[in-house]
Structure 1
Amino acid sequence: MVSATFMKIVSPCWKPSTEGENSNSDGEDNGRVDGLLWYKDSGHHVSGEFSMAVVQANNQLEDCSQLESGPLSSLESGPQGTFVGIYDGHGGPEAARFVNDHLFDNIKTIHGAEFTSESCGISADVITRAFLETEEEFLSLVRNQWLNKPQIASAGSCCLVGIICSGLLYIANAGDSRVVLGRMENDVKEVKAVQLSSEHNASMEFVREELRALHPDDPQIVVLKHKVWRVKGIIQVTI
């Protein structure tokens, strides 16, 4: 029963779409379940191969992940690439699922609107605008559903994105998830872990200082609770 229930929770949050293949039917044909662990062995995408795993930590899985491989623009003449999104939900799955359903589409739409032959690749500006557009769309949803579903206002999600396009790797992060690159060091024949993103987390002193500077009239903006720094004593993530 655990595996069957787990698969029902995971499948709507797992949206791989590799070139020439739509891998998301019910999930069972493309992944394997072992208790609270779901994983998918290597598959092909535009920039190479991938594998992915999900471990359920709560009664309800609040996280989502997706891999899209193919056009990165709404235009047929747009660039080809690979998009990976990891969305660490909290306070419920609604925000992570919303990002999973809208962020990549927003990137394609925004890129398509400003596409030119001189700037055919993806850009940091496109990714930033897609983040902001997705956030505004979710806030609009919260406002519209406030009276009937007020609990949605407490849901949120970290958002970690990697895009490979035209030989470049773009990393975007909002929250305290982390991207780590494994790079082979030929001289020692070992894989070296290289951190590619920085967390936004109240455990970091410079983040606490920034929050205090932004909220000088709130002495409780960061609170040490059970030896862990938290925003308002509730959550560690700060953006």
Structure 2
Amino acid sequence: MERGFMSGPIERSFISGPLDNQIDQLQRYRPKSKKRALVKNFKKVMSRSFWSFSRELNSIEREHNIVAVSGSNSGNSSTITSHLSSEMSLVDENDDVGNESFGSQNLQWAQGKAGEDRVHVVISEEHGWVFVGIYDGFNGPDATDFLLNNLYSNVYKELKGLLWCDKTESCENTINSSSLSSKSLDSKERVELDKKLREKLSNMGPDGFADNTMIVNHLGVLKALSEALRKTEAAYLEIADMMLLENPVLALMGSCVLVMVMKGDDVYLMNVGDSRAVLAKKTESDSQFGKTRKDYEESLYGYEYENEHTLTSHQLTMDHSTSVKEEVRRIRNAHPDDASAVINDRVKGSLKVTRAFGAGFLKQPKWNNALLEMFRIDYVGTSPYITCSPSLCHHRLEPKDKFLILSSDGLYQYFTNEEAVAEVETFMLTFPEGDPAQHLVEEVLFRAAKKAGMDFHELLDIPQGDRRRYHDDVSIIIISFEGRIWRSSV
């Protein structure tokens, strides 16, 4: 489907890097459970099809064994974008984790854009993880483009020693950090423990870990994600600061950030802003057992089914917006002398989200002062009004967990968490080979059109930029824990 959609399956030739020289390494990665085989299942799906982009995605860039599908720059994109994006390359030539790691690991890599939204998916078979980044931009595309070009590489580097190691090195420090304290062991026990550690290190998998025996430092992984985001924003603000006099509009640009890293049964989430990760979990009772496809079709086309769903929704991320009382209280406490810190349900009457990447005009007075007067806020004091401090979450997958919806906030302008999960559940049961992400996007458009009093196709005929008056950009990734992944954006 065209008209601005980016969804459905992508052909292997569009996205896959060379696999032949990695066969022996892939065979060394032997998951012990169904959940740990997710990355391989994703690979099988991608070998047939992954997703297709609309005609907006028309450039393919090959670098080191990585095939990147990149969105074309729209005519409305400012020239600043290319400057910001190119200031930091995806891989630093002088970085010790650069050329060797990115060049040799087997990555399935995809990028996409819809309006100011950017989506980044990386599937690394060598390290056995899936990375998803959804960047919901505002006031321009530069912040999201910078995130798209730089955040994953920083995440990758920060995860060294936690989720991966160079093959010539060991992760002994990580293993020791997860072991019993040496203070509680006598000399004999320490010798035995050292022996076991050496045995683990002698059986390192391709990612530098002893095959699935590693006890991961989950808190360390979450801190690594936060540090990667901090470094990425610091680099963005430093570059933008040098361009501020020439392009003061950079002070307005920012983005919400939602990042997921999944390795085996572990899901790590980081968010800034109001994008969400919503988990669908099986309830205790299984009232759907024995239902036929006809039963679900009847439900889909108008029969009562409100109480028939067997999945419940669990939001794993925290919203950072003025709709959350704790966030409003935090900002007002930080600015006791500013009665307008939050006014008209917005930070300084300007921004709905209370945390964001970029948006320097709400973080430093000098950024605000550089703006044209019509865009300035009344900046009181020197403390930032918003921050880029993320919420972090680690979730251990359970047999009852069925799928995960990752989405920018455009979805939740028309769906509650429960409605989104129910919609996906019903669709997947009725159309098991269908694309639930595209279905959700279409439902958003149907509801937006109905709210505006127009036909669905009338809404699609409106140019995408003008359509923002009727609905926000929507980017959705749905990950089934049976090894399938869907993406759709509008």
TM-score in same-fold range (> 0.5): yes
The AA in structure 1 aligned to 2:119 is: S
1:181 and 2:279 are equivalent in the alignment: yes
Report if aligned partners of 1:18, 1:67 keep a CA contact under 8 Å in 2.
Answer: no
Q: Deviations over 1:146-197 (max 9, x none)?
A: 1222211110000001110242000111111111112233623422221110
1:67 and 2:121 are equivalent in the alignment: yes
Alignment of 1:86-97 (within 5 A): 86-97=134-145
1:204 corresponds to which of 311, 324, 339: 324
1:192 corresponds to which of 296, 301, 312: 312
Structure 2: unaligned runs, 5 residues or longer: 7-13, 20-49, 57-110, 175-208, 210-215, 289-309, 356-490
Indicate the residue corresponding to 2:150 in structure 1: 102
Indicate the residue corresponding to 1:234 in structure 2: 350
Query: Is the partner of 1:163 in helix, strand or coil?
Result: strand
Indicate the residue corresponding to 2:342 in structure 1: 222
Indicate the residue corresponding to 2:246 in structure 1: 148
The AA in structure 1 aligned to 2:266 is: L
More helix by share: 2
Residues in 2 aligned to 1:62 and 1:178: alpha-carbon distance in whole angstroms: 17
Report if aligned partners of 2:275, 2:319 keep a CA contact under 8 Å in 1.
Answer: yes
Residues in 2 aligned to 1:192 and 1:238: alpha-carbon distance in whole angstroms: 28
Report if aligned partners of 1:208, 1:222 keep a CA contact under 8 Å in 2.
Answer: yes
Report if aligned partners of 1:62, 1:88 keep a CA contact under 8 Å in 2.
Answer: yes
1:80 and 2:128 are equivalent in the alignment: yes
Specify whether residues 169 and 18 from structure 1 end up closer, same or farther in structure 2 by C-alpha distance, changes over 3 A only.
Answer: farther
User: TM-score normalised to the size of structure 1?
Assistant: 0.70
Indicate the residue corresponding to 2:484 in structure 1: none
- Runs of 4+ in structure 1 displaced over 3 angstroms? 16-21, 32-35, 113-116
Query: Is the partner of 1:161 in helix, strand or coil?
Result: strand
More strand by share: 1
Alignment of 1:152-163 (within 5 A): 152-163=250-261
Indicate the residue corresponding to 2:415 in structure 1: none
1:164 and 2:164 are equivalent in the alignment: no
Report if aligned partners of 2:112, 2:118 keep a CA contact under 8 Å in 1.
Answer: no
Indicate the residue corresponding to 1:31 in structure 2: 52
Indicate the residue corresponding to 1:117 in structure 2: 171
The AA in structure 2 aligned to 1:108 is: Y
**Structure with bigger gyration radius:** 2
Report the identity percentage: 28
Specify whether residues 34 and 144 from structure 1 end up closer, same or farther in structure 2 by C-alpha distance, changes over 3 A only.
Answer: closer
User: TM-score normalised to the size of structure 2?
Assistant: 0.36
Residues in 2 aligned to 1:17 and 1:151: alpha-carbon distance in whole angstroms: 35
How many residues end up aligned between the 2 structures?
192
Specify whether residues 140 and 201 from structure 1 end up closer, same or farther in structure 2 by C-alpha distance, changes over 3 A only.
Answer: same
Shift of 1:217: 1.1
Specify whether residues 203 and 7 from structure 1 end up closer, same or farther in structure 2 by C-alpha distance, changes over 3 A only.
Answer: closer
Specify whether residues 124 and 214 from structure 1 end up closer, same or farther in structure 2 by C-alpha distance, changes over 3 A only.
Answer: same
Indicate the residue corresponding to 1:136 in structure 2: 234
Query: Is the partner of 1:112 in helix, strand or coil?
Result: coil
Residues in 1 aligned to 2:5 and 2:243: alpha-carbon distance in whole angstroms: 28
Query: Is the partner of 1:180 in helix, strand or coil?
Result: strand
Structure 1: unaligned runs, 5 residues or longer: 9-15, 22-28, 36-51
Report if aligned partners of 2:5, 2:53 keep a CA contact under 8 Å in 1.
Answer: no
Report if aligned partners of 2:130, 2:262 keep a CA contact under 8 Å in 1.
Answer: yes
Q: Deviations over 1:113-168 (max 9, x none)?
A: 77552435571111011010011011012112112222111100000011102420
1:126 and 2:207 are equivalent in the alignment: no
The AA in structure 2 aligned to 1:138 is: Y
